[in-house]
Structure 1
Amino acid sequence: MGWADVGYHSDHILTPNIDSLAADGILLNHFYAQPMCSPSRGALLTAVHPIHLGLQNRMIINHSPTGLPLDCKIWPQYLKQRDNYATHIVGKWHQDFARREFTPTHWGFDSHVDF
């Protein structure tokens, strides 16, 4: 998806639901994606640039001996500190499963469906 592929940046494609989310949420206008999924996902989960996570040039695959640095804190852990938040992740975790410390439930998600 490109910058002008949603209605709030362009009138070429009508996206009223996405426009509503943009109007009521936070727009990230200066966010950069990495060329691989693990560095981008790590940055989104931690709000830390991938170079500071050691993820700038590698992809974490299942059964890898490493994952996100264990001293990081990711957004579901912050939500769990507040009342009435349940966290669930659906989709590609890609932060590893080799050790329990790398699984989504260890990082604050109540449950997950991974593929």
Structure 2
Amino acid sequence: MNSSYNENFAKLFLRLFVGFLFLMHGYAKLKYGTSFIESTLAEKNITQYLVYGVYIGEVIAPIFLIIGYYTRFFASLIIVTIIFAIYLVHPTEVFSTSEHGGLALEIQYFYIFSSLLIMLIGPGKYSIDQN
């Protein structure tokens, strides 16, 4: 096997992995609603219309990331979604550790840096973008 073949499969698996895991966050919002987010927006005096951004960032973006369409754009949208979620829900935990010693926001950092990696390396051959 050549390295290009392995590289393209690695890009595919990374997109599938990050996209599927993040899509599960969106699925939860579709199934259980966004009342928590709406109340958090209200507490911070932010317009309630931004709640629709959750569906774009947690449902639409991961789907397009999975299929590899406008991959870099939707990876950046996931980053913006996570940063906004940190601002809304976890602003005091940015550098905090959990009771087990890891970073309190390690899953959020995982999504940010995995999406950043996808932006940098591109979608790979097995995508609609193919670049």
**Greater fraction of residues in helix:** 2
TM-score by length of 2: 0.27
TM-score by length of 1: 0.29
**Greater fraction of residues in strand:** 1
RCO higher in structure (CA 8 A, sep ≥6): 2
